[in-house]
Structure 1
Amino acid sequence: MDVNTPEILELLKQQRRFHQEQLRLIDIALTAIESAGGRATVLPQKRNRRSKAVKKHRIQWTKEIEKLLDDYDEFNIVDLQSDLAEKREIAAAQTIQGRNVISNTLSRFIKRGRIEKIRPGVYRVVTESLSP
């Protein structure tokens, strides 16, 4: 049996990517816990608790991304994700759902002419021309 077959190598690479993603998610969870001051909050379980009664904090993604665009000339989505997490303290930006929301927001900005896509994953902020 040849252990260097392309199928085995590809399978191992897939496993590596999966575990790297798991480690990244663990790091995000640890960062969120540390930013909360290490306080673990345990909610008492109630039987007839209504999920609608829980107020969720909604992130205004468009507004937060718009604030960061002023700092960029050219950027990629990974830079934007990390800046949202670090500068704006939005840990959800590092998740897969956060990346999807960011991508959708950037697509809207492209349609509005606020940014332009240079190549896949790389964007440029459109600055208004001052010349007549």
Structure 2
Amino acid sequence: MRFVMMAALASAALISTSATVSAAPASSATALLLVQVNVPGGWLTSVNLTCGPAGGAHPKPASACALLTDVDGDLARYPGEEGVCTKEYLPHEVSLTGRWAGRPVRFEKTFANQCELFLATGAVFDV
């Protein structure tokens, strides 16, 4: 009987520990975002991005999170980079939606081509 009670207590402790461990990453993230790039008539890419710590399926989460941290999650505040792009027209429709530091964020814009997109948004849409 004593063995059965000890086994039950050990199982309960293990279950509560594993529940705590699996719940921790979601609550510790400062941002949970969906990044989408759509090239009409071409392709659509969607990836998730988490910041605090940087992660998700985004190929450059650290760079994207650093940029978003600089603008406090408001990508419209990013001044962009200087550079020269060709005049090719291949529109890229992008959106960034989700939560940043507990508040909802949304950014949507269409750029004339990929070069203009990257200059204006850094690594955020480099998916």
Greater relative contact order structure (CA < 8 Å, 6+ sep): 2
| Structure with the higher fraction of residues in helix conformation | 1
Same fold (TM over 0.5): no
TM-score, length of structure 2 as denominator length: 0.25
TM-score, length of structure 1 as denominator length: 0.25
